[in-house]
């Protein structure tokens, strides 16, 4: 399956995959989890988390055991599958 590079959100916003996103709280570029079927993006949409996954879930910063930081899909981190049930909606 080819890597997803861009998507249209359910609210009609075109978003692009980035390997890193700037997280103001860390004052740094934070790597995004390398999902093949979805990706994490930044949004300025109202009533939304600043960081989202293309599956519709908020994205969060986690610190894996090795001490690095990473932006991940919250639904995937909790359930080991994206909110779309493992399928693309774009």
24-36 pLDDT tens trace: 888 999 999 999 8
Looking at the 3D structure of the chain, how many domains does it have? 1
Q: What is the dihedral of CA 83, 59, 61, 32, to 10 degrees?
A: 90
Q: Do the domain assignments include residue 84?
A: no
Q: What is the rounded CA–CA span in Å between residue 87 and residue 82?
A: 8
pLDDT of 64 above 70: yes
Q: What is the rounded CA–CA span in Å between residue 71 and residue 63?
A: 9
Query: What does the DSSP 8-state code read for residue 32?
Result: B
Please tell me the predicted confidence (pLDDT) of residue 66: 86
Q: Do the domain assignments include residue 90?
A: no
Q: Do the domain assignments include residue 87?
A: no
Please tell me the predicted confidence (pLDDT) of residue 87: 53
pTM for the whole thing? 0.85
pLDDT of 75 above 90: yes
Q: Do the domain assignments include residue 47?
A: yes
């Amino acid at each position: 399956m080819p890597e997803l590079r861009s998507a249209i959100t359910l609210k009609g916003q075109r978003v692009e995959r980035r390997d890193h996103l700037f997280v103001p709280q860390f004052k740094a570029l934070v790597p995004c989890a390398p999902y093949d079927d979805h990706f994490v993006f930044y949004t300025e949409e109202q009533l939304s988390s600043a960081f989202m996954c293309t599956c519709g879930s908020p994205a969060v910063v986690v610190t894996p055991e090795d001490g690095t930081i990473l932006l991940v899909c919250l639904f995937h981190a909790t359930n080991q599958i994206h909110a779309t049930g493992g399928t693309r909606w774009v």
